[in-house]
Structure 1
Amino acid sequence: MRITYFLIALLFLLGCTQKKESLKGESEWQRQKNAIFKDASKSPLKPKDLKRFNGLDFFKVDSTFIVNATLQRTPNSKWFNMKTTDDRLSKERVYGILNFRLKNKNYTLSVYQGEENMQTEGYEDYLFLPFLDDTNGDSTYGGGRYIDLRIPEGDTIQLNFNEAYNPLCVYNEKYSCPLVPRNNYLNLRVTAGMKNFKSQ
């Protein structure tokens, strides 16, 4: 009887180990994304793509794409309706302007705050950074990518472009995704974060 219990425990441990090993990713963030996409209860993938899924495609993690930005808050900015990939409009406002230096050049991006998130528990301090760059339509999704941020206590915020991800509508058109404002364009190739997704 003890041998039977031992074998069951061993098989369980081996199963857990194999499951962990199957989650590809160079960083913890990449592994977490793959875990979500692999989980049928959470994945945005269509059933046919989920069946063949063996990991998202990422650029190599590059520390030069992690920068500190100065946050210039814009407390008097007005709410507006940000267009999405369908008829839905997302109520947003410019929370502030991010000024930073990347690859020896100065850049500016607007960071947004959503009205819906402000009313959702756990997301009250959530900020949304959509951006375009010169990899769009090539190695990354043509409509740009997003970065999730949180409101900092001070006036400095870290931007990690290795955690740039695709809008969910890239994987399934049933999702409604905000369109990246044209002013949030970076005139360089951001070879970090998530690459484009190709349906099998």
Structure 2
Amino acid sequence: MKKLFVLFLIISVSACAQKKEPITGETDWQREMNANFKDASKSPLKDKDRKTFKGLDFFKFDSIYVVHATLTRTPNEKPFKMKTTTERLPEYVKYGVVSFKLHGENHQLNIYQNIGLLSEPGYEDYLFLPFLDSTNGETSYAGGRYVECRIPKGHNLTIDFNTAYNPYCAYNEKYSCPIVPRENYLDTKIEAGVKTFKKH
């Protein structure tokens, strides 16, 4: 009887181990994103979506979308209230303009600093780059995506669009997300980063 119990215990543990699926992703960033989305304490997903979550859909990593931009500071900008998907109006300031070449064309985007995060440890040099592009509403989220950057020492800033992610409200309407300013539209396809969310 004791041997049967031990055998049953081994089989049960083995079955549980098999149920634990590996974290998927082509890059460390993708794997970290998927791990966070699986984690109930970090995930923006609704409980019912998280329970069936297999992994985010990503564009394949492409070094073309790691662009080397020139950052031009705009030090005289005044803070403003950025519109969101709710009545919340967080305070931002336009930190500068980033200029870069992609797909043979020159592009510019405004880059912002969140005033409320300046006093938070680890966010003193945080920059927020929201953007729209020609994939929105097709292969990527209709409301645009975000990229996070850090203030560089000089005027050269590397922007990795492979780390472009969706606002949390793309997964759950309870979140309040900054609306991408219309002037931050790129008239090209950014086929990099997170794709539109498809419920499984």
* Structure-1-length-normalised TM-score: 0.90
Cα-to-partner distance string for 1:35-90 (whole Å, 9 max, x where unaligned): 00001111110000001000000000011111100000111111001100000001
Q: Extract unaligned runs of 5+ from structure 1.
A: none
Counterpart in 1 of 2:84?
84
The two structures, once aligned, show a CA RMSD in angstroms of 2.0
Q: Quote the sequence identity (%).
A: 56
For residues 1-40 of structure 1, what are the structure 2 equivalents within 5 Å? Answer: 15=17, 22-40=22-40
Counterpart in 1 of 2:63?
63
How much has 1:18 moved relative to structure 2?
8.3
User: For the residues of structure 1 that align with 2:19 and 2:68, how far apart are their CA atoms?
Assistant: 37
Letter in 2 for 1:109: L
User: For the residues of structure 1 that align with 2:104 and 2:42, how far apart are their CA atoms?
Assistant: 39
User: For the residues of structure 1 that align with 2:100 and 2:19, how far apart are their CA atoms?
Assistant: 41
CA shift in 2, pair 1:55/1:154, >3 Å = same
Deviant stretches of 4+, over 3 Å: none
CA shift in 2, pair 1:114/1:36, >3 Å = same
Counterpart in 2 of 1:150?
150
Aligned length: 190
Counterpart in 2 of 1:101?
101
Q: Answer with 1 or 2: which has the greater Rg.
A: 2
User: For the residues of structure 2 that align with 1:177 and 1:108, how far apart are their CA atoms?
Assistant: 23
Counterpart in 1 of 2:130?
130
User: For the residues of structure 1 that align with 2:125 and 2:41, how far apart are their CA atoms?
Assistant: 26
Cα-to-partner distance string for 1:136-181 (whole Å, 9 max, x where unaligned): 0001110100000111111101011110000001111111000000
Within the alignment, does 1:176 sit opposite 2:166 as a pair? no
Q: Extract unaligned runs of 5+ from structure 2.
A: 1-5
User: For the residues of structure 1 that align with 2:56 and 2:128, how far apart are their CA atoms?
Assistant: 22
User: For the residues of structure 1 that align with 2:107 and 2:38, how far apart are their CA atoms?
Assistant: 36
User: For the residues of structure 2 that align with 1:90 and 1:57, how far apart are their CA atoms?
Assistant: 29
